[in-house]
Every structure is written in structure tokens, then in C-alpha cells.
Amino acid sequence: MSRKERIGILGGTFDPIHLGHLVLAEQVKEKLKLNRVIFIPCFRPPHKPGRKLSPAKDRFRMTQLALEGNPSFSISDIELKRKGFSYTVETLRQLNELYPKSQIYFLTGSDVLDEIHTWKDPEEIYKLAKVIIAKRPGFDEFDPQNRFAKKSIIVEITGVDVSSSQIRERVKRGRSIKYLVPEKVEGYIKKEGLYRG
């Protein structure tokens, strides 16, 4: 019997996608021997309801540009098509229907452990996928007694100390974002005039 395909899922607003996202996906893929990683830009994040996002088409295109040249990385618009709040549990249900013979791995950062209990149907998330917590040594502290930490697979990654909010702030102030985002993403942000205030 052939081994199940192992598919990693990385969701986010990707506003913009940056090198931290790509390093996380690449290192987890390598460590867990995933066949591929699908990046899923969300339509509206339920845990950040007040934040104004860049248009979905821009976030989708930036993510597409960032993944070019890596045959193991792809992008899906299932949350953008579904519209409304993007609940992880609903996305995982859909992916399990799309890939019934595959094992789904949900990739996320360790900051999620403090809030996952507030997500929609967190117990079901753990039934639908293996939850992978990417931990940057020295950066990410979480309570090992957290019941969701105990159910997760913790993977140490190198990690890049950068966030989308930092990048947006730098662009707003006219500062360089070179080497924080892929070159094509930097070009797109400039061309479309994103994050200028």
C-alpha cells in the first residue's frame, strides 16, 4: 500500500506574505517530510475582526508571487471564495473532502496556542488534521501544560523575526523592506502603492 500523501496547510492574512512565512513552511516541510504545502489566504480573520485588510486580490497575488520557483508550494483560494469569516475548522473539513486519501498537517506559529481554545470547534480541528506548532528557539514561550500544546506536534524552526504589521509600518514610513519579503512581493507593493497610509 502506498504511503498517504502528506499535505501541509499554512493559512494567514498574508498582508503581506514575508520570509518568516516561507521559512516556516520550508523547514516544517523538510522536518516532517511533507509532500507539499498549500498556502491559504483568508477572507476575513475571525480573531482580528476590526482590522482593515488589503483587498483579497492583492493578498492572493503577493502570495502567488512569493511561491514562484518552489514546486512544493502552491496556493488555494478556497477561503476567498467562501467569503465571510475564515474559520480553520471549515477549511479543514473542505480539504478533507478534497483530499480524502491524504494526511493534512495544519501549520501555525506558537502564538496560536494561547488563543486556539477561543477558535470555532478547536477539538474538531485536531481530529481533521495533525496540528504542527512551529517554535522559534528563544522566541516563543508557551505553557507546556496547555492542553492543546500536548496534542500538537512541536517543531523547532530557525525563524525570521519579522511580522506583516512591521512591514506595513515600514512601508508607511517610507523605509526599506528589502530582504524581509521576496523581491517580487516588494515590487508588487511598490507598483500597487500598498500600505502607504
The residue count for the chain: 197
- Closest to 167 measured CA to CA, from 1, 9, 20: 20
Backbone dihedral region for residue 106 (phi beyond 0: left; psi -120 to 50: alpha; all else: beta): beta
Walk along the chain (197 residues) and give the pLDDT tens digit of each residue.
467 999 999 999 999 999 999 999 999 999 999 999 999 999 998 877 677 899 999 999 999 999 999 999 999 999 999 999 999 999 999 999 999 999 999 999 888 888 899 999 999 999 999 999 998 766 667 776 788 988 999 999 997 889 999 999 999 999 999 999 999 999 999 999 999 97
| CATH assignment of 5-192, among 1.20.120.420, 3.40.50.620, 3.40.50.300, 3.30.1360.40 | 3.40.50.620
Please tell me what DSSP assigns to residue 178: B
Q: pLDDT tens for residues 105-125? A: 999 988 888 889 999 999 999
142 within 8 A of 112, measured Cβ to Cβ: no
Q: Is the peptide bond before 16 cis (omega within 30 degrees of 0)?
A: yes
pTM across the whole model:
0.94
117 phi and psi, to 5 degrees? Answer: -65, -20
